[in-house]
Amino acid sequence: MADGALDPAALLGELAACGVDFVLIGALAVGVHSEVRATGDVDVMLPTGDEANKLALPRALEQLRAVRLSAEQGGVDPVAGDPYPTVMFATRHGKLDISYRPDGSDSYQKVKRRSLDTTIGGRRVHVVGKDDLVRMKLAAGRTDDLRDVAGLTSPEQGAPRRVFISMTLAPSVEHEWARDLAAACTVYFDPSSRVRITDGRYLRVEARRSDLTDRQIEQWAHALADRLDAAGVIADAEIDVRIEDA
């Protein structure tokens, strides 16, 4: 298996040299807009249905001596029926993660149009714009993602805030499972968050955050609702969000 040390410039250069159309996302993109932080991979977004990319990407993967990683190997297993799953590869220049529809993203064409055109390792690279990157990070909602958002938007931060979210449960959902899943999603946002079910039909979340703006908190809340809606926990993604001083 290819297991080279991470060399982002060489990896991105190989993609570009083979004619792959991509936008850089993830932690490396955060480093372009804000403070550089350690990362173990290169994350890129690719367009769906692009015939030229369908030819260019296999050429690049061959040059990179790429080997697709399963979940057991630190990658992800594709969802049945998904024509454009997220895929992860070990390459001679480090780990490569390819996404076609990252959580929170707009269409590829819009993301690329708003991207930053820069140079990395002598190669022209499109880096996702800050606003699009923030939306993706809020939608992913993991601890590092939320910390990245705080770093990307530090001049905008205000006073500590409390957020209250109310969602209508799906009619036949098992309540304990619904509460546990919501809690597992929310703990990254606030380890002391509170999730409860009231009146037998409402899922309510209470959490605090001191390093995000009200707009970012509301975006996170809607991303949480989208995730729970997709899992069948709530009846729909329509939610009530209230934000106030902590």
pLDDT digits (tens, 9 = 90+) for 231-246: 999 998 889 999 998 8
* Band (3; pLDDT cuts 50, 70, 90): low
Q: What is the pTM of this model?
A: 0.78
> Do 18 and 68 have their domain in common?
yes
The mean pLDDT value for 194-201 works out to: 96
CATH classification at residue 233 = 3.30.70.1120
Domain of 81, in residue numbers: 8-152
Q: Looking at residue 158, what is its pLDDT?
A: 61
For 76-122, write each residue's pLDDT tens digit.
777 666 778 899 999 999 999 999 999 889 999 999 999 999 887 77
Residue 1 has pLDDT above 60, yes or no: no
Q: Which of 104, 126, 152 is the last residue in one of the domains?
A: 152
In angstroms, the CA 12 to CA 77 distance is 24
Domain contains 3: no
Q: Using one digit for the tens of pLDDT, what is the confidence trace for 133-185?
A: 999 999 998 889 998 998 887 765 567 899 999 999 999 999 999 999 999 99
What interhelical angle do 143-152 and 26-33 show, nearest 10? 20
**147 and 131 share one domain:** yes
The number of folded domains in the chain is 2
Residue at which a domain ends, from 116, 136, 152: 152
Q: Parallel, antiparallel, or unpaired: how do β-strands 161-169 and 41-45 relate?
A: unpaired
How many other CB atoms sit within 10 Å of the CB of residue 52?
11
CA dist., res. 110 & res. 120, Å (int): 22
Q: What is the CATH number of the domain that holds 40?
A: 3.30.460.40
Are 66 and 188 within one domain? no
The secondary structure of residue 210, as a DSSP letter, is S
- Domain co-membership, 93 together with 188: no
Task: Encode pLDDT of 33-84 as tens digits.
Answer: 887 777 889 999 999 988 999 999 999 999 999 999 988 887 777 766 677 8
Domain co-membership, 127 together with 184: no
What is residue 211's DSSP assignment? Answer: S
Q: Is 1 inside any structural domain?
A: no
Residue type, 10: A
Instruction: Note whether residue 2 is domain-resident.
Output: no
Q: Pick from 129, 152, 175: which residue ends a domain?
A: 152
103 and 24, same structural domain?
Answer: yes
- Whether 18 and 140 share a structural domain: yes
- Domain shared by 95 and 168, yes or no: no
Whether 193 is in a domain gets the answer yes
Same domain, 211 and 125: no
Closest CA to 129 of 213, 30, 50, 222: 30
SS3 for 52-120 is HHHHHHHHHHHHCCCEECCHHHCCCCCCCCCCCCCEEEEECCEEEEEECCCCCCCCHHHHHHCCEEEEE
Both 87 and 177 in one domain: the answer is no
Gyration radius of the chain over CA positions: 19
Same domain, 138 and 184: no
Q: Is residue 25 part of a domain?
A: yes
Are 22 and 144 members of one domain? yes
Residue 156 is predicted with a pLDDT of 59
pLDDT at 11: 95
CA 112, CA 125: separation in Å to the nearest integer?
A: 11
